[in-house]
Every structure is written in structure tokens, then in C-alpha cells.
A and B are shown apart, each in its own frame.
Chain A
């Protein structure tokens, strides 16, 4: 059952919240946090992120990556090594700043030369609120979701916006 105070999910039937110790056997006043706040602080990225990110090998060429992005209507690709571990990320911004004006010259170059290596990552159970904070602090729009160094997905600012807009209720509505 969900603790009405801290919102942590507890095993059914326990007397008090395993996380905050709030009694669960009596009526506890509901928190006044809005649905938007609740959904941002408690929704895991695994519920909002794209579970099938575009993955490429570090040796893939720039033109192959561009083709994959267009085909998948994606805005980034994850660069994954032969061991399945995440090596880097290539976003539209990487291509715009590092490749765009020299595309013909660089289209056969390996993508690892243009990727952002070792990007900041989050675990699948990280929350929407935490991802928003990291994007805000880091100034980026995509965060790979990683478990044991293996990419499980990617969350884009667009995913977060879509999630929040579904839970946004203007005051008085």
C-alpha cells in the first residue's frame, strides 16, 4: 500500500511505513501535493522513457547514424561497445555542431569521433523530477537509462514534457 505521507509503496498489511515510519493503520491526512508534484517525484523513468533506443557501434559511420536517426524519427543514438556497455551518446546537437557544415567530408568517419563520451546516465528507477533536475543542471536533452552499464532506454526532454503535461491541472480546474 502507498504511504499517504511519503508515497513509498509498502507491502500490504504492514502497520507502519517501511520508509518513514508513518502509521498505516489509521487514517492519515492526505498530502496536499498536486498531482503534478506527485507524478514528477514518484514516477520512475522506466515508465516514461523510450525503451528501445537507437543503438550503434562506435565504428558506424556518420552517414549511417544520420540514416538511423531519420528512419527511427529519433533525436539521439546511443553508442554501445562490443561488450554491450554504453560508450557515448550522439544527439542532433552533436551532429549540428561537429558535423553539419562538413558533412560530405566527414560522412564516412566513425561516429565515436563525434559522440559525447561517458554521458551522465540514470537508473530505470530514477524519477521524472530527478531527470528534469539533471537536464537543467547539465544543459542536455537526453539521458541514457542504464543498468549495470547496459543501456536500457533513453529519456528525452520530450518524454518528460509529455508526462508532465498529462498531469498538469491549472489552478481552479
Chain B
């Protein structure tokens, strides 16, 4: 008897026949290329992968991946993805959203997907601007930001996506950058393999409407001192010469110089498996210029996933009460005829 094996897919198999319509030089190209690169490694056939997006530049993503896709409505990708996953848990579901679509228009739906812990991968492209509508301030735009909709500078406190995700107790939380393609692909792969909601914030440059928003974190001259790469079980060390670290002082993080009295053992050791999310939340609040901004996996814990629980419950109730009758349900209780 012969055994059939699935053909090994390549990144090219995930390229669609659609022309990519992002601005030349946009950071989205990098994220698309890395997604296509890791999808074959995930080992799920194309017909079992769905990309769901809302509205915005990032939300054109499903057109460019040769899988199932849904370019849906503004801010509602998370709600639609929830329905897709619950209806068919065998699908691998990705949500592609931006800082405006995901945190403003869709902020509410995002929280509920995360707290329910559906096995869905959320990629939030954060460029700190509304790019598709030509440069209005977004929920992640910094205080004082001058844009077409804030000509005298924004007075809104920005949201910090990872703080929001950890606040809703996301089981997998990570941050990466569009220009660090190796770290980006590793992070996407880990997100894909996590069972439960994976939330990945990607620092993405909009070279037309918010150029250089992440320059401090990406420039060769500054990035070693402005970012810190998290490794599970390792101390928080950073700097061009890897001579600086983060330690706790009175429950607050502080930057310290290694050497002299301060040893590596005095520093915070990263624990992405910590069930209590406080350490991850503290890391998400470390922001430039006071702190180096953490990159990598903040949190990766196991927890029951929503769709499994929904289907288990349905199975148990069906065993007890028999299969339901939708027609009967619709006509039960108070019904009336509109003439």
C-alpha cells in the first residue's frame, strides 16, 4: 500500500497573483515576505489557512497571500475571525490589522478575542499613523504629534498595544520590527505555533506619512541602546557593548551599568512562561527614551482555548439533550407575526 505525503510548500506557493499596492519602500513588504517564508514551515495546507483583515494599508494583506482570505469591515476583523475559528476550528486563522483599525475602530472587538483566548494569530502593524487616509493621528501616535488632524499637536495619550494585550491577558505576546527580517520571521513562526491567541506588535515604517517613527529602534547607530532583545531565562542585558542591564528597584525597573558591584545575577531574568502577567506588563511599559524597548516574546503561557471549550460544551449538551432544532428554537418563546 502506498502512502501519500503532502507536497512540501515553498514561500512562492503562498504568493498570490495580485499586484501589491503598497507604496514603494513600505515596511509592509517585509512582513508579507516573512509571512510567506514561515507559512511552509508551519506545515498547514493553504486551504486550511485564512487571513482576515479590517480596513487600512495593512488590511490589504489577504489579497497577497495565496490562501483563503477576508478583507472585511473596519475594526471587525477580530469579530469575523472569531466566527471563522469557532465555526471551523481546523482552520489556522490570522488577523492582520493596524494601529487604527485594531486599537481605535476595533479596540473593543480586539479585547474580546484576546480574553477568550481563541487560537488565532493577530499581527498588528504599528506605524503610529493612519496611512491609507493620508496621515491622520492614530491611537498610538505620540503626544504632541503634528498631523493633518492634529495641526497643533496631539493631546491624546497614546495606547501601547502590548500593554492592552497583556491587560486582557493574552497568552502569547511579542514585539518585532519590519526591518529585522530574521527576528520578524522567528517571531511569526512562534506566534503561529502557539496554541491560543498570539498577539504580535510589529514596528512598521510608513515612509510616506510617518517616516522615521521607529528610527531610534532601527537605526544602526542607536538600536543597540534603544532596544533590548528578550530571551527566556536570560538576564535583561543590552547596549552596544552589552554592558547595561535592567534590574528591579522598589518594584520599578531601572537601567544599570554592569560591572563593579552590579552583576548579571542582580538583573531581571526574563520569564515568558510566568503565569502572572505582571512582569510582561512591566516590560510593555518600558519605553524609549527612559528605557530600551523590549523586542521578542514577552509572554507565552498555556491556557484553554475558546473554540475547544465551545465545542466541548456543545458536545456535552447534545449528549444530554439531543441535537437541537434551529427552526423550533426560532419559533419558541414569544413570537409574533408582523402583518
A contacts, CB < 8 Å to B:
5-8, 16-23, 26, 29, 31-33, 37-38, 40-42, 126-127, 129-130, 133, 136-139
Q: A19-B30, A20-B30, A22-B33 are in contact. Are A37 and B23 (CB under 8 A)?
A: yes
A124 to chain B, nearest CB (A): 13
Q: A29-B19, A31-B19 are in contact. Are A6 and B146 (CB under 8 A)?
A: no
A170 to chain B, nearest CB (A): 20
Q: Does B87 contact A (CB under 8 A)?
A: no
- Are the CB atoms of B209 and A127 closer together than 8 Å? no
Chain B residues with Cβ below 8 Å from A42 are: 24-25
- Select from chain A the residue with minimum beta-carbon distance to B148: A137
- Are the CB atoms of A137 and B135 closer together than 8 Å? yes
Please pick, from B19, B151, B185, B208, the residue contacting A130 in the complex, using a CB distance under 8 A: B208
Q: A32-B19, A133-B135 are in contact. Are A41 and B181 (CB under 8 A)?
A: no
**In residues 139-186 of chain B, which contact A (Cβ within 8 Å)?**
146-148, 151, 178-179, 181, 184-185
- Are the CB atoms of A137 and B151 closer together than 8 Å? yes
Nearest 6 Cβ contacts at the A-B interface: A20-B30, A7-B24, A20-B29, A21-B33, A6-B29, A21-B181
Chain A residues with Cβ below 8 Å from B147 are: 137
- Are the CB atoms of A130 and B23 closer together than 8 Å? no
- Are the CB atoms of B148 and A21 closer together than 8 Å? no
- Are the CB atoms of B24 and A21 closer together than 8 Å? no
Chain B residues with Cβ below 8 Å from A137 are: 135, 146-148, 151
Chain B residues with Cβ below 8 Å from A40 are: 208
- Select from chain A the residue with minimum beta-carbon distance to B146: A137
B contacts, CB < 8 Å to A:
11-12, 19-21, 23-26, 29-30, 32-34, 37, 135, 146-148, 151, 178-179, 181, 184-185, 207-209, 211
- Are the CB atoms of A41 and B135 closer together than 8 Å? no
Chain B residues with Cβ below 8 Å from A17 are: 33
B93 to chain A, nearest CB (A): 23
- Are the CB atoms of A21 and B25 closer together than 8 Å? no
B189 to chain A, nearest CB (A): 13
Given A21-B37, A23-B11, A130-B208, 10 more contacts at CB 8 Å? A19-B181, A20-B30, A21-B33, A21-B181, A21-B185, A26-B12, A32-B20, A126-B211, A137-B146, A138-B146
Chain A residues with Cβ below 8 Å from B135 are: 133, 136-137
- Are the CB atoms of B211 and A127 closer together than 8 Å? yes
Q: A37-B23, A133-B135, A137-B135 are in contact. Are A22 and B29 (CB under 8 A)?
A: yes
Please pick, from B20, B34, B185, the residue contacting A5 in the complex, using a CB distance under 8 A: B20
- Are the CB atoms of B207 and A136 closer together than 8 Å? no
- Are the CB atoms of A41 and B148 closer together than 8 Å? no
A14 to chain B, nearest CB (A): 12
Q: A129-B208, A133-B208 are in contact. Are A31 and B20 (CB under 8 A)?
A: yes
B198 to chain A, nearest CB (A): 20
- Are the CB atoms of B207 and A41 closer together than 8 Å? yes
- Are the CB atoms of A129 and B207 closer together than 8 Å? yes
- Are the CB atoms of A5 and B29 closer together than 8 Å? yes
A52 to chain B, nearest CB (A): 25
Complex: A167 Cα to B36 Cα, angstroms: 33
- Select from chain B the residue with minimum beta-carbon distance to A17: B33
Complex: A58 Cα to B159 Cα, angstroms: 42
Q: A20-B33, A21-B181, A130-B208 are in contact. Are A41 and B25 (CB under 8 A)?
A: yes
- Are the CB atoms of B30 and A127 closer together than 8 Å? no
Chain B residues with Cβ below 8 Å from A16 are: 33
25 pairs from A and B in contact (CB 8 Å cutoff) = A6-B24, A7-B25, A20-B181, A21-B30, A21-B33, A21-B34, A22-B33, A23-B11, A23-B12, A31-B24, A33-B23, A40-B208, A42-B24, A42-B25, A126-B211, A127-B25, A127-B208, A129-B23, A129-B207, A130-B208, A133-B208, A136-B135, A137-B135, A137-B147, A139-B151
